Structure 1
Amino acid sequence: MATTEPPVLYTCAGSRGLRATWAAEEAGVAIDLQLLPFPPRFKAPDYLEVNPLGTVPMLVDGAAHMTESCAIAHYLATKGADQSLVVAPNEMDYPAYLDFTYHADATITFPQTVYMRFAMFEKDKGWGEAGEAYAKWFWKRLVKLEQRLETRDYLCADRFTVADICCGYALILAGRVGLDEGVPQSLRDYRDRLTAREGYRRAVAREAAGPAAI
């Protein structure tokens, strides 16, 4: 069971943990934000005692320990007084909400992560062609988002939800790591709508107080 203390979120500024920070700000949920230097497994070795994987984010809420950013974002959103960030099982778009929330990491962010390894973190190893291949893979996988947003402003239930936070983060990351070339203008406009939100701006400002992730 959760304690009366606020959940503790361990993250690096600008990492996937931004999804969780953003969800907390949108939902008005208090969190104890613990910002770590990147990569924490090397620059904050004591963190391995909290999370043996050394990955971020990690949420600790009493006995609950969570390490998946989209799951944490959903979890925090359910703790808010306003439940509009979450699509309930009795709503028509519930299946789409689940699908896009999982789609964010399983399908979209994955090729970005590999691209960053080859094109940024280990580019001295001469794997430029591999980085280019994963960039193209990422762009091709945006088609589902693009088609979904042809006739709507947000992904599900005619409102902003955690699904937008999770998928929107991948588009935000694309702009930061040099992957905007293949992002359709419609998705750039969608990203602009998301990043104009006060909840997003507050989340970024909170994380800006700590070490940069990238």
Structure 2
Amino acid sequence: MLTLYHCADARSFRPLWTLEELGLTYQLNMLPFPPRLLAKDYLGVNPLGTIPTLLDDGARMTESAAMIQYLAARYGEGRLDVPVQDARYAAYLNWLHFGEATLTFPQTLVLRYTRLEPEDRRQPQVAGDYRRWFLARLRGVEAALADERPYLCGEAFTGADISVGYALLLAQTLGIEEAFTGPVRVYWDRLTAREAYRRARRVQAQAANDQGVAAAQVTSALKP
């Protein structure tokens, strides 16, 4: 049984969305944020206390973008993945990691210094600088979509769209989505119209309710 440890709308939303796209059976364990402080037992699963953790047949993973690649390669049967011999393979891998390393990273600093730190430790200038950094890097997504392709790797929806799509979800959470340009806005609307995306949103809300975990305040798992 695949098991995913998840906080509402954290980076773990990437593998949750992937699981729904692939129609896999899994167990979803909801945790309060941040689990390293509010769910100390979780340190027995992931000593770092970060989200996500994915367990599968003895394997344990803690990186959200890697989980997308793993699930697609192992269970996708051609869905969400791009074969190594495909001319789009390099672009697929690049976008898969771009979503986390280039787009999500600066947003975690915006989150930290506008919402997570105590009032006296918040840094508006730092948050503003990294907000601008995110928006500058988002131009890469805009350029890729300028030819009106539906997805980052062309006609097919792939795991790369899940990785980048989560960064856009986090931007919405932080109030940065107001700066989405036309192509990015159309792309975001297309992603959020996918039934698997909507199922993932419903599943996390229902699981949070069933497991007694507050999911009203949407945050992202911030690695120390």
Per the normalisation by structure 2, the TM-score is 0.89
1:166-212 CA-to-partner distances (Å, cap 9, x unmatched) read 00110111111111233223212111100100000111111112132
Structure 2 gaps, min length 5: 220-224
Match of 1:159 among 150, 156, 160: 156
2:122 pairs with 1:129: no
Quick one: distance in 1 between partners of 2:196 and 2:178? 27
1:34-90 CA-to-partner distances (Å, cap 9, x unmatched) read 111111011110000110000000001122110010111221223435422101111
User: For this pair of structures, how many residues does the alignment match?
Assistant: 209
Match of 1:70 among 65, 74, 77: 65
2:59 pairs with 1:59: no
Equivalence for 1:147:
143
Residues 87, 157 of structure 1: 8 Å contact kept: no
Match of 2:92 among 97, 104, 120: 97
Quick one: distance in 2 between partners of 1:81 and 1:115? 34
1:116-162 CA-to-partner distances (Å, cap 9, x unmatched) read 00111126124111111111111001111110111111011421000
Question: 3-state DSSP class of the match of 2:157?
Answer: coil
Equivalence for 2:169:
172
Say if 1:123 and 1:130 are closer, same or farther in 2 by CA, change over 3 A.
Answer: farther
Match of 1:201 among 177, 180, 198: 198
Say if 1:121 and 1:159 are closer, same or farther in 2 by CA, change over 3 A.
Answer: same
Residues 2, 27 of structure 2: 8 Å contact kept: yes
The runs of 4+ residues in structure 1 deviating greater than 4 Å are none
1:86-115 CA-to-partner distances (Å, cap 9, x unmatched) read 011111100000000011111110000011
Equivalence for 2:26:
31
Residues 27, 82 of structure 1: 8 Å contact kept: no
Q: RMSD of the TM alignment (CA)?
A: 1.3
Question: 3-state DSSP class of the match of 1:205?
Answer: helix
Per the normalisation by structure 1, the TM-score is 0.93
